Structure 1
């Protein structure tokens, strides 16, 4: 009688690892996007204002921004599997809490617990780097990077379909079911241990970053309601800037930082982080505009008055194209270079903004626009983790990518707020809906942001290449001097062994002509 394996065979785990990691990232993205299309419905069902209902989305982003760097640091040690499984369990608990008809307070608390899942994507990328061979890890990292983008476009139509058919709480029950499946799959497939040594958690750094990010995101989220010039908003922004500056100073001085900011000296890491922040702003500006535009009643002279389901379907090409971009990126890199993929992605995204400027008169045009946008954003975000992974030590992968994810989240929130501010500025007094010129102005601003992103992705790597060439030249000169010195030492030694007096040393420095007496 042959024995049975207690768990899946190693070859099964190897084959299933990448699909499970991608599934985890997609589940996180779908669950995090559940709140956005449901805000009006939650307000009506729980009898709260729209600004209060918005917290069902804001709390998820806020908790995710705080949890992501902490999970990234914990996941860089030997307990990555425990961190991943524990985080999915928290997401599952939050999904159940949000699904139960216990009132708005419990729904917000559940959505906050779901936000912990946003820290899982960097850990999946770190796992792919550590476990997979190089030829498999590179495409896996690129695919995992865009799951957060693709999942948002997938989550909107799913949410709309479930909500229209079964009610608002059914969407969160769907989140609970896929969370349970993700927990089971991860428990079966994830490696038993992570790589790296256990390192102490930078608790003061985590506290400073948590409070600073919370203040900043709260100001961005509530600025439209409280007023951008109100003392509460301005005070929160100043408070956030002071705390984040103090956090940066602390991280540069502590022996075991939560995020090693010294990696920003590497131009590849700096490029990925700056581009991720700015691209996140532009991406969410377009998504926010499109979802609001298509739901606007046609009686206003624009818009299509679509349902939540149809609005979600408009975003579906965004998800499909962003996933397809993971196949396009290697082709672009081979035909051009890896350094050019980022600006090419920015150029495609800029094209989507231009199309929104000139061609949004029919629903099919918006489907095309979101497809182009997904292709551009997918190319842009697919490259960023690779830049970071190739530039930082293996034991810093989770932390470095987590920081990039935090910057993206700040960009997402800023983009959503920025589009709302521009549209509000073009809303006549006493009216609820903006004029069509508001979308025109917001799209022009989005074009400018994509141009700035493209410039960043071109200028920073070029400066890095110039610096590398200068460093290489200096290194070559040093090596030449060392070779000459070694040759002279060997010659002297050989002469001494043969009884020949050593030759006088010859200076390799350039001869400086003596000054005349004039």
Structure 2
């Protein structure tokens, strides 16, 4: 395959036209997709009645999205590297729109699960957007843009809860999904109009066996984690799923190391900077989700418990909303710290801020403003941490593997959030208090979850300390200087040094 002229990219050249519009459209698309995390939260207690289904079955409306997102994220990333990131971005948004329409038209469980699964398949939008930014933006814009795109995962979740609660309180529940469909159409139209297709392609053949193996392994793992509390952690079903996940993922890893064109390049993933960043991402994902589990519950529990504040779902959402705005505001600050001190330092700072936020929450949980303050502190830490991860990943992989590598990193965060949900569920189920005929999680239970969240953030800090210092600033002009200072393959990957990425082969 012959080389085509290099497009204007983050590796040099004049800024492409409408770069501000590209950043805005991609960030908006990421926020729209991340809304799927909180879209159904206001109606979860009502789903059994709305869908005429048992509560255990109705819970699949949430689980299906989780499983589909886990499978789609790495697959869409690899397809984006092969066939075009913008093309796969539009395909993901299209799946979101179709899934939203299916859910909006549903009145029974099966079409709702199908619709929610299709919505989950859109989860690759954020890593694909980060990869497009790397290909299209000038170096001086890349750090802040990717930080904003990465933070959109938390921004959408924080802003989506009050919006979804407002719609659920005042309109028929189907309007939630019609709104999602309209936002998806708007995002898709903006991408078509303003986002160019990158000419940076990896080519090759899609690893069907690797895709199927990863899908089966992830479904077994995440299904066991998400449903283990309902089925029993020592039940035959749960243990069988975990055993199957271990066996399938081991076989998948063996296959990926032997196949010529793997779905996930495990050799690149095993490079120290990528590997350690992914481990830190699991801990950060855990820490982030603990906030989303604890704060809304404490706000909504009856005041008669002595620690609940008796707020509505809408009020709880409004308390959480400022954290999303803080994440957005922190994105350029995160990029500036990464340029000055390196993304490793930015990640460590973010982890410490998150841990401090949880420590603050353990002491302050008696007034609404306490939770506003805590959510903003934790949101600032998440903004720092999430903003640094794309820089660390992109500083260690070739441009032709950017989407796949970012997608795998996003998957690691998702695994962290899934584990957080399971761990918090076990803790809150064991530490309870009774008010009349109703049993609630106790205040000690919530404090224990907060302490575990703080511990996860401190673990992320400790893990991040092992990221190579010479990973430095992975994006921007510093990367270019670093990557020209060492020979190709200095750290074990052809054309990639320990600090940055060599100019990739551009394929038409």
Q: TM-score, normalised by structure 1?
A: 0.84
- What is the DSSP-based 3-state SS (H/G/I as helix, E as strand, rest coil) of the residue aligned with 2:213? helix
Asked if 1:168 is matched to 2:173, the reply is yes
Distance 1:398 1:330 in 2: 20
Cα distance change of structure 1 residues 90 and 334 upon mapping to structure 2, 3 Å threshold: closer
Which residue does the alignment assign to 2:464? Answer: 457
Which residue does the alignment assign to 2:255? Answer: 250
Instruction: Give CA-to-partner distance per residue, 1:10-34, whole Å, 9 cap, x none.
Output: 9764442111111111110113321
Greater alpha carbon shift after TM alignment, 96-105 vs 127-136: 96-105
Equivalent residues of 1:32, 1:114 under 8 A apart: no
Instruction: Give CA-to-partner distance per residue, 1:398-436, whole Å, 9 cap, x none.
Output: 000110111111111111121111000112598531221
Which residue does the alignment assign to 1:261? Answer: 266
1:381 pairs with one of 369, 386, 394 = 386
Which residue does the alignment assign to 1:310? Answer: 315
Asked if 1:224 is matched to 2:229, the reply is yes
1:447 pairs with one of 454, 471, 496 = 454
Cα distance change of structure 1 residues 178 and 149 upon mapping to structure 2, 3 Å threshold: same
Asked if 1:277 is matched to 2:282, the reply is yes
Cα distance change of structure 1 residues 332 and 137 upon mapping to structure 2, 3 Å threshold: closer
In the TM superposition, residue 387 of structure 1 has moved relative to its aligned partner by: 0.6
2:193 pairs with one of 185, 188, 193 = 188
Instruction: Give CA-to-partner distance per residue, 1:118-147, whole Å, 9 cap, x none.
Output: 011111111110111111222211111110
Distance 2:147 2:55 in 1: 37
Equivalent residues of 2:276, 2:467 under 8 A apart: yes
Distance 2:23 2:470 in 1: 35
Distance 1:15 1:447 in 2: 36
Which ranges of structure 2 fall in alignment gaps of 5 or more residues? 1-14, 473-485, 488-508
Equivalent residues of 2:33, 2:123 under 8 A apart: yes
Superposed counterparts of 1:88-103, under 5 Å: 88-103=93-108
Which residue does the alignment assign to 1:484? Answer: none
1:396 pairs with one of 383, 398, 401 = 401
Superposed counterparts of 1:341-420, under 5 Å: 341-420=346-425
1:129 pairs with one of 110, 115, 134 = 134
Instruction: Give CA-to-partner distance per residue, 1:259-281, whole Å, 9 cap, x none.
Output: 11112332221222111111111
2:440 pairs with one of 413, 433, 441 = 433
Cα distance change of structure 1 residues 235 and 78 upon mapping to structure 2, 3 Å threshold: closer
2:306 pairs with one of 295, 301, 317 = 301
Greater alpha carbon shift after TM alignment, 429-438 vs 439-448: 429-438
In the TM superposition, residue 56 of structure 1 has moved relative to its aligned partner by: 1.7
Equivalent residues of 2:395, 2:471 under 8 A apart: no
Q: TM-score, normalised by structure 2?
A: 0.86
Instruction: Give CA-to-partner distance per residue, 1:197-221, whole Å, 9 cap, x none.
Output: 4210111111110001001111111
Larger Rg: 1
- What is the DSSP-based 3-state SS (H/G/I as helix, E as strand, rest coil) of the residue aligned with 1:433? strand
- What is the DSSP-based 3-state SS (H/G/I as helix, E as strand, rest coil) of the residue aligned with 1:68? helix
Greater alpha carbon shift after TM alignment, 298-307 vs 373-382: 298-307
Instruction: Give CA-to-partner distance per residue, 1:450-476, whole Å, 9 cap, x none.
Output: 1111111113335989xxxxxxxx99x
Kindly tell me the number of residue pairs found equivalent between the two proteins. 458
Cα distance change of structure 1 residues 162 and 111 upon mapping to structure 2, 3 Å threshold: same
- What is the DSSP-based 3-state SS (H/G/I as helix, E as strand, rest coil) of the residue aligned with 2:468? helix
Distance 2:55 2:319 in 1: 23
Equivalent residues of 1:42, 1:168 under 8 A apart: no
- What is the DSSP-based 3-state SS (H/G/I as helix, E as strand, rest coil) of the residue aligned with 1:432? strand
Distance 1:47 1:307 in 2: 25
Cα distance change of structure 1 residues 336 and 183 upon mapping to structure 2, 3 Å threshold: closer
CA-atom RMSD in angstroms: 2.1
Q: Which runs of 4+ in 1 moved over 4 A?
A: 10-13, 334-337, 428-431, 462-465
In the TM superposition, residue 334 of structure 1 has moved relative to its aligned partner by: 5.5
Distance 1:159 1:41 in 2: 14
Asked if 1:104 is matched to 2:114, the reply is no
In the TM superposition, residue 194 of structure 1 has moved relative to its aligned partner by: 4.0
Cα distance change of structure 1 residues 87 and 337 upon mapping to structure 2, 3 Å threshold: closer
Instruction: Give CA-to-partner distance per residue, 1:210-254, whole Å, 9 cap, x none.
Output: 001001111111111111111110110111111111111211121
- What is the DSSP-based 3-state SS (H/G/I as helix, E as strand, rest coil) of the residue aligned with 2:233? coil
Cα distance change of structure 1 residues 417 and 37 upon mapping to structure 2, 3 Å threshold: farther
Asked if 1:37 is matched to 2:42, the reply is yes
Distance 2:258 2:342 in 1: 37
Which ranges of structure 1 fall in alignment gaps of 5 or more residues? 1-9, 466-473, 476-518
